[in-house]
A and B are shown apart, each in its own frame.
Chain A
Amino acid sequence: MRTMEEKAKALSDIMHHMEPQHVFNLGPVSIDTTVVNQWIAMLILFGLIYWITRGLKSRPQGKKQVIAEFMVQFIQDLLEPALGKKGRKYIPLVGTLFLFILTMNLLWFIPGLMPPTTDLSTTFGLAITTIITINLIGVINNGLKGYLHHFAQPFAALMPLNIVEEAVKPVSLSLRLFGNMFGEKVVVTILFILLPVLIPVPVMLLGVLMGVIQAFVFTLLTVTYLTTSIKGH
Chain B
Amino acid sequence: MESIAYIGVGLAIGLAALGSALGQGRATAGAMEGIARQPEASGEIRTTLLIALAFMEALTLFSFVIAILMWTKI
Q: Are A176 and B65 in contact (CB under 8 A)?
A: no
Closest CB-CB distance, A121 to chain B, in whole Å? 14
Question: Counting CB contacts under 8 A, is B11 at the interface?
Answer: no
In the bound complex, how far is the Cα of B65 from the Cα of A175, in angstroms?
A: 8
Interface size class of B (residues with CB under 8 A): 10 to 19
Contact B62–A179 (Cβ < 8 Å): yes
Contact A179 B54, beta carbon cutoff 8 Å: no
How far apart sit A116 and B19, CA to CA, in the bound complex (Å)? 29
Report Cα–Cα, A217/B62, bound state, in Å: 16
Are the C-beta atoms of B51 and A217 separated by less than 8 Å? yes
Q: On chain A, which size bracket covers the interface? A: 10 to 19
Q: Which residue of B50, B60, B62, B65 contacts A213 across the interface (Cβ within 8 Å)? A: B50
B8 → A minimal CB distance (Å): 18
Contact between B58 and A179, CB atoms less than 8 A apart: yes
> Are B64 and A179 in touch, CB under 8 angstroms?
yes
**Residues of A participating in the B interface, judged by any CB pair closer than 8 Å:** 172, 175-176, 178-180, 182-183, 186, 213-214, 216-217, 220
Interface status of B15 (Cβ within 8 A of chain A)? no
Additional A-B contact list (5), CB under 8 Å, known A180-B57, A183-B61: A175-B61, A175-B65, A179-B58, A179-B64, A179-B65
Docked pose: A112 CA to B9 CA in angstroms = 31
Judge whether B61 and A180 touch: CB under 8 Å. Answer: yes
Contacts of B64 in A (CB 8 A): 179, 183
Contact assessment for A179 and B50 in the assembled complex, using a CB-CB cutoff below 8 Å: no
List 18 contacting pairs A-B, 8 Å CB cutoff, sorted by A: A175-B58, A176-B54, A176-B61, A178-B61, A178-B65, A179-B60, A179-B64, A179-B65, A180-B58, A182-B65, A183-B61, A183-B64, A186-B68, A213-B50, A216-B51, A217-B51, A217-B55, A220-B51
Chain A residues positioned under 8 Å from B54 (CB to CB): 176, 213-214, 217
Docked pose: A220 CA to B58 CA in angstroms: 14
B residues 4-60 in Cβ contact with A at 8 Å? 50-51, 54-55, 57-58, 60
